[in-house]
Structure 1
């Protein structure tokens, strides 16, 4: 990569600038539009939201994310991808402003829906743009750097939220401050992540290609669905899960912060391991570790073990997004957004369903434990599917990396 300096970061074709813009796009799309909701959940539960409505909002947000993921599959040319990527960033910022100025439940439902759509544009389409723009580098390792933005998105937005409360603000002020910084980050992303205009006859279009849906891709889609379930339960409820444990009231926010910290190096480490040992074996290991993290709050209220639960969650869910997205992009070759969108759609279905069964279990059992057991079981089914596909690949062809 070129030397990291101020001038290179203004060069649209510089790999360092492209990766920085990708990380900031993830901060806006994933941090501001999605994960900071988890950081702000405890104070919002104190004087505004019920746990049931919070779960509904999470599902609606993921419904928007699912619709965006499906929509991204049908975006044909690169310039249209750029337009919808920019629209997505705008939606992420505007919907956050709305949450800071309104307490109307209907408006919140609509805002979270559109925020989810915007997040899909920032993650799925934005990641495809980054992958296409990177030049002369090992893309597996480079995309690991890009997806470290998932961890940064949690840390940056959580720190901004905490700063607002330290200086006397409330959760509504936090949404407005986050939208402000999201707008600044978006300006840089829009400038860097674009392509030079081409005559219409030279624009490469990507048609819907059913032949890409091989048995391997179908297994990948189902496995990523199970990971969507595994990811969203803690993404929505982790601070409240920890706060509900004996003696750990108030520690939930710190657990969420370590999720983000663990996620920053995770992508780079997991992608390096995938490059060395193959993507599918590393996905299996990451999902098994995630299961351990999911189950820790069910048998222990030890503060250190529950911090470990947050570390395992952050290190694995962030890494698994990078592993699945990169692997899907490689399978699709010149049209990475196609399979990225397809597998992310399955991920989105899992994210929609999981908060709903969590709400039902919490209300019936007055505990998160049954929901965590079911979540761990679903993720384990994904592990079995990946193990089966790895066995088949070893029999038929060399393992893809």
Structure 2
């Protein structure tokens, strides 16, 4: 029992970080996607669903920007814990209230809490881990994003089989208490131990950093359309009605090992090279539903989506942490902010295009094109990564 409560143990730190990602990314964010088909039948229309998604991402964006300015370790711990509480309260209210305004407020604060657990929490994990090279360990940490989809989707499905989506939200809030208690305990401020005190020294923002920020913006756009609507996209394809929920579970299953695998490859072949491969595969996954109704190919699309978008989060944030090693939360926050702007933008143009054309094809085409711009810009500048190789 003492071993799992050891706050300096690397394995415990990683587990606490994964639990935090399950709460911040799974419960406060991705559970909405999992429960969306059921809520569309009983509570929401597609326009309001898109609005709620953008509101959630706006909260996430503000949280990421706010995280940039949290330099003191004790403050990081406090806001990380605030994120845990926010995620619980913003989740349980969805099961107890149906008022539209309450839902808008709830999704906004859930986004802020999610950023605290993702950006600040990942920074705490990176700082606490006692490894010389933390790339592989952070790959395991970011696999928690995949776990977050799998765990919340399975729990949501189980509750929906016997009850309502309202009770699914309540069950998710209970899970957040159980997992959050461990993260709250392990990721506290460790004085005079292996907790690295990050002073927040500024680093030079050069052209490569700007390229990374822009490219991650396009990845945010590439993530969010399927991240919000994937089950409904699959369900809207003739002959694939009812398959959407299964596709979302496949996304999570593919995502669990993706960070570990891709980040190991990144340590061998360079982060930017692997990022480019992942982005191209993500573009392929976005386009598949536009040209085929094949069950197999659309499941491949879901698999590729899960195997790439989660890894891209880990790859970008890990690279950002290495570039700004004096203050990883700063560049992590800047990257996440650009990602967040992309997430806010995509649901808004998606709603307009879906209403106009009554399908998802035009939305997916535009999303793939924007991501392609990111691929081109990063490819042109990829050799600039070499100067950070020693970091």
Instruction: Sort the TM-score into its range (normalised by shorter chain).
Output: over 0.9
Contact 2:198 2:326 in 1 (8 A): no
1:24 aligns with 2:19: yes
Contact 1:73 1:208 in 2 (8 A): no
Contact 2:95 2:166 in 1 (8 A): yes
1:236 aligns with 2:228: yes
Instruction: Quote the offset at 1:393 in angstroms.
Output: 4.4
Match of 2:274 in 1: 282
Match of 1:364 in 2: 356
Instruction: Quote the offset at 1:124 in angstroms.
Output: 0.3
Instruction: Quote the offset at 1:206 in angstroms.
Output: 3.3
1:180 aligns with 2:180: no
Instruction: Quote the offset at 1:101 in angstroms.
Output: 0.5
Instruction: Quote the offset at 1:388 in angstroms.
Output: 1.5
Cα 1:399–1:364 shift into 2, 3 Å:
same
Contact 1:279 1:400 in 2 (8 A): no
Q: TM-score, normalised by structure 2?
A: 0.97
Q: Distance in 2 between matches of 1:43 and 1:384?
A: 39
Match of 1:190 in 2: 184
Encode CA deviations 1:305-355: one digit per residue, 9 max, x unaligned.
111000000000000000000000001113110100000000000000000
Q: In the comparison of the two structures, how many residue pairs are matched?
A: 389
Instruction: Quote the offset at 1:195 in angstroms.
Output: 2.0
Q: Distance in 2 between matches of 1:85 and 1:69?
A: 12
Q: Distance in 2 between matches of 1:229 and 1:312?
A: 16
Match of 2:165 in 1: 171
Instruction: Quote the offset at 1:392 in angstroms.
Output: 4.0
Alignment of 1:280-319 (within 5 A): 280-319=272-311
1:326 aligns with 2:326: no
Cα 1:293–1:94 shift into 2, 3 Å:
same
Q: Distance in 1 between matches of 2:379 and 2:48?
A: 37
Cα 1:400–1:347 shift into 2, 3 Å:
farther
Cα 1:122–1:42 shift into 2, 3 Å:
same
Match of 1:260 in 2: 252
Match of 1:125 in 2: 120
* Secondary structure in 2 matching 1:290: helix
Match of 1:206 in 2: 199
Instruction: Quote the offset at 1:121 in angstroms.
Output: 0.3
Q: Distance in 2 between matches of 1:208 and 1:110?
A: 35
Encode CA deviations 1:50-100: one digit per residue, 9 max, x unaligned.
000000000000000000000000002111000000001110111001101
Match of 1:96 in 2: 91
Q: Distance in 2 between matches of 1:165 and 1:174?
A: 7
* Secondary structure in 2 matching 1:30: helix
Match of 2:59 in 1: 64
Q: Distance in 1 between matches of 2:135 and 2:155?
A: 31
Match of 1:73 in 2: 68
* Secondary structure in 2 matching 1:246: coil
Instruction: Quote the offset at 1:10 in angstroms.
Output: 1.1
Instruction: Quote the offset at 1:204 in angstroms.
Output: 4.4
After superposition, the CA RMSD in angstroms is 1.5
* Secondary structure in 2 matching 1:76: coil
Q: TM-score, normalised by structure 1?
A: 0.94
Cα 1:137–1:159 shift into 2, 3 Å:
farther
Q: Distance in 2 between matches of 1:350 and 1:87?
A: 25
Instruction: Quote the offset at 1:9 in angstroms.
Output: 1.9
Q: Name stretches of at least 5 consecutive residues in structure 1 with no aligned partner.
A: 1-5
Q: Name stretches of at least 5 consecutive residues in structure 2 with no aligned partner.
A: none
* Secondary structure in 2 matching 1:148: helix
Q: Distance in 1 between matches of 2:29 and 2:287?
A: 24
Contact 2:10 2:130 in 1 (8 A): yes
Instruction: Quote the offset at 1:213 in angstroms.
Output: 1.6
Match of 1:48 in 2: 43
